[in-house]
Amino acid sequence: MLGPRQVDQAALFYEFSIEGHIPADHMLRAIDRFIDLSAVRGEMASFYSHTGRPSIDPELMIRMLLVGYCFGIRSERRLCDEVHLNLAYRWFCRLGLDGRVPDHSTFSKNRHGRFRESDLFRRVFEMVVSRCMEEGFVGGEGFAVDGSLIKADANRQSGIEGANWSAPEKANRAVKEYVAALDDAAFGSATAVTPKFISPADPAARWTAANGGAAFFAYTANYMIDLDHAIIVDVEATTAIRQGEVTAAKRMIERTREEFGLYPARLAADSGYGSAEMLGWLVHEQGIEPHIPVFDKSARTDGTFSRRDFTWDRPNDIYRCPAGKVLTTSGTIVNDNQLLYRASKYDCEVCELKARCCPKEPARKVPRSIHEGARDMARDIAKTEAYVTSRRQRKKIEMLFAHLKRILKLDRLRLRGPNGARDEFHLAATAQNLRKLAKLIPMPAPKPA
């Protein structure tokens, strides 16, 4: 039987509770258990004036931004519309039915002002990491580091071969941030190589073709995770070159030690972090086992003996060649922190193996890094079962980057400049940790009526 026509009848009173209309298994219900922003107002109080119109609650803006990053809502205009219409978003943001959603321009004004001055996004990220530690999901025994390229908000067709920053006071915000970061080891001073192209809109973005396809302007999102549950314990934005990523790894290791008291026993990473200097820093200065492939270019391809064919005699500080002759060093450091071990010219001239050792030189020379002990340690670790386990666990960080780009839609930045990249990476990492907590600790079963 056809039912009666639905007619809009205005009522004088309604009994309506948002709480009752949010599904028990909604993600925001699970995430809300781990968000405590009660301290935000107190920390931000000094950044607001004591006179004038009442401000927008900073906790409301942070909650709205977390909704946007958790659900891949990249536009703040659209975020405001979604929060206005979606009951679950209103509930999470503590707005109720009649709460007013702030204008999208409020986010920009606060981001470029008091939020960056107070480093609020970093503080919120650390709050969530602390909660992960309280729940027992950060063991601190094994860490992994890696970086992933994120496209910048810069048109690859508009790059120029040079730029004049002689009047930075007339430049836009991204240019001013670039000039301010020229001495930063993670940005301007990461390498002395001049970039091929510079974007006038965002000069700190690096022109790169590291992904193997067409070149584009990009930043690098650097993560350090705990290997047990893939919790992101630190995040850093750098320019899109390997030297910047190595600098970020050092910063993150030192910062997690200072902020959270985490002392990892081992670090897993790819061969890009396997330079002699990095391995030496990990082993000798930090006491961390490097579960990292050694970056080694000593192997020869012309058929002559490589360095591995020479035997290192550590007690006597000498090398022995395949013919049993001795190579010694003067102890002078040359060529990028290396020692040269030289054979005697008289030994090499009469040696039967000279054609396979040094056919074009009067005597053989073998370079050895001053950090070769750390490299040898990394090579020994690579033969263990623990190394195989670390290599398998390291894939978790690759999955986080895939989640960042595919689910959170952060395959291209919306903000410009080093600070814009830093803000986006911190908010995205916070959202990923919250989603991870919601997955690891399911919602309790509803009590029967």
Task: Give tens-digit pLDDT for 411-448.
Answer: 999 999 899 999 999 999 999 999 999 999 988 876 66
Looking at residue 337, its pLDDT comes to 81
> What is the residue-averaged pLDDT of the chain?
87
136, pLDDT greater than 60? yes
Q: How far apart are CA 177 and CA 415, in angstroms?
A: 12
For residues 171 and 234, membership in a common domain is answered with: yes
Q: How far apart are CA 71 and CA 228, in angstroms?
A: 25
Average pLDDT over residues 319-324: 91
Q: Are 353 and 261 in contact (CB under 8 A)?
A: no
Nearest to 445 by CA among 86, 85, 25: 25
52, pLDDT greater than 80? no
More confident residue, 302 or 81: 81
Q: Are 382 and 129 in contact (CB under 8 A)?
A: no
Q: How many CB atoms lie within 10 A of CB 78?
A: 12
Amino acid at 343: A
Residue 76 lies in a domain: yes
| Least confident range of 1-15, 135-149, 302-316 | 1-15
Looking at residue 160, its pLDDT comes to 67
For residues 389 and 286, membership in a common domain is answered with: yes
Average pLDDT over residues 290-298: 89
Looking at residue 384, its pLDDT comes to 94
Task: Find the domain containing 328 and state its range.
Answer: 311-363
225, pLDDT greater than 60? yes
393, pLDDT greater than 80? yes
Residue 255 lies in a domain: yes
27, pLDDT greater than 90? yes
Nearest to 92 by CA among 115, 64, 132: 64
Looking at residue 6, its pLDDT comes to 54
Residue 259 lies in a domain: yes
Q: Are 83 and 102 in contact (CB under 8 A)?
A: no
For residues 48 and 93, membership in a common domain is answered with: yes
Looking at residue 360, its pLDDT comes to 87
Q: Are 433 and 225 in contact (CB under 8 A)?
A: no
Q: How many domains does the chain have?
A: 3
Token pair 């989603």 is found at 435
| Least confident range of 116-125, 153-162, 314-323 | 153-162
Q: What is the pTM of this model?
A: 0.89
Q: Are 361 and 369 in contact (CB under 8 A)?
A: no
For residues 170 and 248, membership in a common domain is answered with: yes
For residues 166 and 274, membership in a common domain is answered with: yes
Q: Which two tokens stand for residue 188?
A: 């301007």
Nearest to 443 by CA among 30, 70, 36, 34: 30
For residues 27 and 77, membership in a common domain is answered with: yes
For residues 331 and 411, membership in a common domain is answered with: no
For residues 111 and 145, membership in a common domain is answered with: no
59, pLDDT greater than 80? yes
Looking at residue 111, its pLDDT comes to 86
How long a stretch of residues is the chain? 449
For residues 180 and 43, membership in a common domain is answered with: no
Residue 181 lies in a domain: yes
Looking at residue 364, its pLDDT comes to 92
Looking at residue 407, its pLDDT comes to 94
| Least confident range of 17-21, 23-27, 249-253, 339-343 | 17-21
183, pLDDT greater than 80? no
Residue 133 lies in a domain: no
Q: Are 247 and 156 in contact (CB under 8 A)?
A: no
Residue 229 lies in a domain: yes
For residues 166 and 52, membership in a common domain is answered with: no
Looking at residue 22, its pLDDT comes to 87
Residue 235 lies in a domain: yes
Q: What is the DSSP letter of 230?
A: T
Residue 4 lies in a domain: no
For residues 82 and 177, membership in a common domain is answered with: no
For residues 25 and 63, membership in a common domain is answered with: yes
112, pLDDT greater than 90? no
